[in-house]
Amino acid sequence: MDYKKLVAERIKENVDLDISFIEKLIEIPPKPEMGDFAFPCFQLAKTFRKAPNLIAEELKEKMNKEGFEKVETKGPYLNFFLDKEDLIKTTIEQILEEKEAYGSSDMFKGKTAVLDYSAPNIAKPFHVGHLFSTSIGNALYKILSFQGYKCVGVNHLGDWGTQFGKLISAYRRWVDEEALEKEPIKELLRIYVKFHEEAEKDPSLEEEARANFKKLEDGSKEETELWTRFKDLSLKEFNKVYDELGVNFDSFAGESFYNDKMDAVVDEIDKKGLLTDSNGAKVVMLEDYNIPPCIIKKSDGATIYATRDLAAAMYRKKTYDFDKCIYVVGTPQALHFKQVFTTLKLMGHDWADNCKHVGFGLVKFANKKLSTRKGEVIFLEDLLNQSVEETLKIINEKNEKLENKEEVAKKVGIGAVIFTYLKNNRERDIVFDWNEMLSFDGETGPYVQYSYARGKSILRKAGEVTGAIDYSKLNSKEEFELAKLLKGFKEAILASIDKLEPSIVTRYVIEVAKAFNKFYNAHNIMNLSDEEMKNGRLKLVEATCNVIKNALGLLGIDVVEKM
Ligand code: ARG
């Protein structure tokens, strides 16, 4: 049952206001002694020509209070206290019946969302920023699907552009074949960095690189073969990371995929009279929108990143007929997406309004700023491996005899990294701090996973519950607060869809874990002589584990049964 709706309906029976307007006015009081929902009567004062506190009194008298323990007034507020026993019972029963489907719905059935995430660049390291995009995109994919969306995950690989001309030059001059086979990305990065160093001394290298890329664009065999090799080597490495993370895509159509689809787009822009010459380059002027022009073709005739994004958006609309196209890309690219979306709109494609840039902050390590050009990067594989190693150390200290230690360390270590990315508002920068993110009792992945494993261990010890259950005996503050949270799972998911913000689900599961630990620390579960109460509490534990598992699953994090 949706209690907020129930409150709104009961008010609606007495005042002639729009139900959705009433729902918006309803508040969650800051303290439990003020009830579970509050309705402020200020807004009614004008219509009723009465002081708000008198209106509150009157409403209280007239109202049907069924389903509530009590309704009280406090000044201008009407405070609703839920029927605790009913809430606990119906919530637990619903969770245990729906299991892995608890929290889901088919609210968005028939709608399609294209999600563009991860998108690392070929021949360059899969770096910590791309993991930001990967974890947010993967979580949104799961969250939207859970509410009925048909999702299409696209990896818009950075596999095209003038840098490939540079790489071809660098390859021909400096490659160490052996190193390339052994550690492809490291070797490609090394020669790419060398190219930039050498080009400073000898600018003709840039010219050569441009010519290489032109040949590649025109489909020349030799250049295409090299490019294909770089791409295959890179993808092999990227796929290792995706496997570790358990991330999948429905399409790997990267930038090169649009090479033969851009002419048509440029033509369309031209036909619509939007193409302007600017020092030899072709651009779409956007001064009416107070943003710099969108470059379509450079003066040498080459297309750019933006041209490929225009072609990609049109291709996606045609192929998937999306209701939403979500680009999970760092906030520094906000202007780029504004230019692309505005250009699409000017072309007459009103669906551009359904294209959304979902930005995110920077990833920092102890105040170091990393530049790919100088070769300063942290390889993701190393980051994940380190997290798993550190986790294994902690497990060895805490629970040496644990079975499958390596497997647990892997799930917890990788989960901890993903959790760190998804924990705060995505626009916020992240500072990696091992001690903090691997702690078992902060607001961390391991803390939530540990809470789950703790619950599971209780359930294993207790065995199957067969006797009678009396939920009215679950009458403590801790039990009610936990059950109320469990009940709010779907609301948290919907809020995260509304803001395209997975952190709302992350914060939610942290709150559940905290409430569970409060309950667990305050109340005995196993050593109770009252069987009906014990059984009720065990069911609450089971329901909590169920919700934690579902919520972590939406974030792309596995649970472990023991830890
Ligand atoms: N490869 C790009 C980068 O690393 C991200 C691509 C994002 N997607 C897009 N459609 N532009 O910055």
For 251, which DSSP code? Answer: B
pTM here is 0.92
- Decide: 121 in ligand 1 pocket, CB within 6 A: yes
- Decide: 327 in ligand 1 pocket, CB within 6 A: yes
Contact 443, 506 (CB under 8 A): no
Residue with tokens 């399609």: 112
* CATH number, domain with residue 182: 3.40.50.620
Are 52 and 125 within one domain? no
Print the domain residue range for 53. 3-82
| Tally of structural domains, the chain | 2
Contact 363, 337 (CB under 8 A): no
- Decide: 146 in ligand 1 pocket, CB within 6 A: no
Residue type for position 551: A
Are 38 and 140 within one domain? no
Residue with tokens 């999948």: 248
Can you tell me the distance from the alpha carbon of 547 to that of 556, in angstroms, rounded to the nearest whole number? 14
Asked whether the predicted pLDDT for residue 367 surpasses 50, the reply is no
Residue nearest to ligand 1 atom 6, measured at CA: 119
Residue 260 buriedness (CB in 10 A; 0-12 / 13-18 / 19+)? exposed
Are 201 and 313 within one domain? yes
Are 216 and 313 within one domain? yes
Give the angle 543-548-553 at the CA atoms, nearest 5°.
Answer: 130
Helix axes 531-555, 477-487, angle to 10 degrees: 40
Q: What's the gap between Cα 543 and its chain centre? A: 24
Please check whether residue 342 lies inside any domain of the structure. Answer: yes
Q: Which residues contact 259 (CB under 8 A, 6 or more apart)?
A: 160, 217
Residue nearest to ligand 1 atom 1, measured at CA: 158
Residue 462 buriedness (CB in 10 A; 0-12 / 13-18 / 19+)? middle
Are 136 and 254 within one domain? yes
Q: Which residues contact 286 (CB under 8 A, 6 or more apart)?
A: 292, 293, 294, 339, 342, 343
By DSSP bridging, strand 324-328 and strand 294-297 are unpaired
Helix residue ranges, H only, 202-346: 204-217, 221-245, 262-271, 305-320, 334-346
pLDDT digits (tens, 9 = 90+) for 444-486: 999 999 999 999 999 999 999 999 999 999 999 999 999 999 9
**DSSP codes joined into one string, 72-89:** EEETTEEEEEE-HHHHHH
Report which ligand 1 atom has the smallest distance to the Cα of 309.
Answer: 10
Are 230 and 159 within one domain? yes
Q: What is the mean pLDDT of residues 308-334?
A: 97
Are 180 and 68 within one domain? no
Q: Which residues contact 379 (CB under 8 A, 6 or more apart)?
A: 125, 126, 127, 185, 186
How many Å lie between the centroid of ligand 1 and the Cα of residue 156?
A: 6
- Segment holding 41, helix H or strand E: none
Please check whether residue 336 lies inside any domain of the structure. Answer: yes
Are 43 and 130 within one domain? no
With bands split at pLDDT 50, 70 and 90, how would you rate the model's confidence at 375?
A: low
Tell me the best of 156, 249, 315, 344 to mutate to test the pocket of ligand 1, counting ligand atoms within 8 Å of each CB and taking the most: 156
pLDDT at 252: 97
- Decide: 119 in ligand 1 pocket, CB within 6 A: yes
Report which ligand 1 atom has the smallest distance to the Cα of 337.
Answer: 11
Are 20 and 136 within one domain? no
Q: Report the 10 Å Cβ neighbour count for 245.
A: 20
Give the angle 310-314-317 at the CA atoms, nearest 5°.
Answer: 140
pLDDT at 457: 96
Helix axes 204-217, 221-245, angle to 10 degrees: 80
Are 69 and 123 within one domain? no
With bands split at pLDDT 50, 70 and 90, how would you rate the model's confidence at 78?
A: very high
Are 203 and 68 within one domain? no
Which of these, 381, 380, 527, lies nearest to 458 by C-alpha position? 527
Are 254 and 182 within one domain? yes
Asked whether the predicted pLDDT for residue 369 surpasses 80, the reply is no
pLDDT digits (tens, 9 = 90+) for 489-503: 999 999 999 999 999
Among 364, 385, 409, give the residue marking a domain's end.
364
Report which ligand 1 atom has the smallest distance to the Cα of 330.
Answer: 12
Which of these, 82, 40, 100, lies nearest to 543 by C-alpha position? 100
Please check whether residue 398 lies inside any domain of the structure. Answer: no
Q: What percent of the chain has pLDDT over 90?
A: 85
How many Å lie between the centroid of ligand 1 and the Cα of residue 251?
A: 15
Mean pLDDT of the chain: 94
Radius of gyration of the chain (CA): 28
Q: So which residues are the catalytic ones?
A: 124, 127, 130
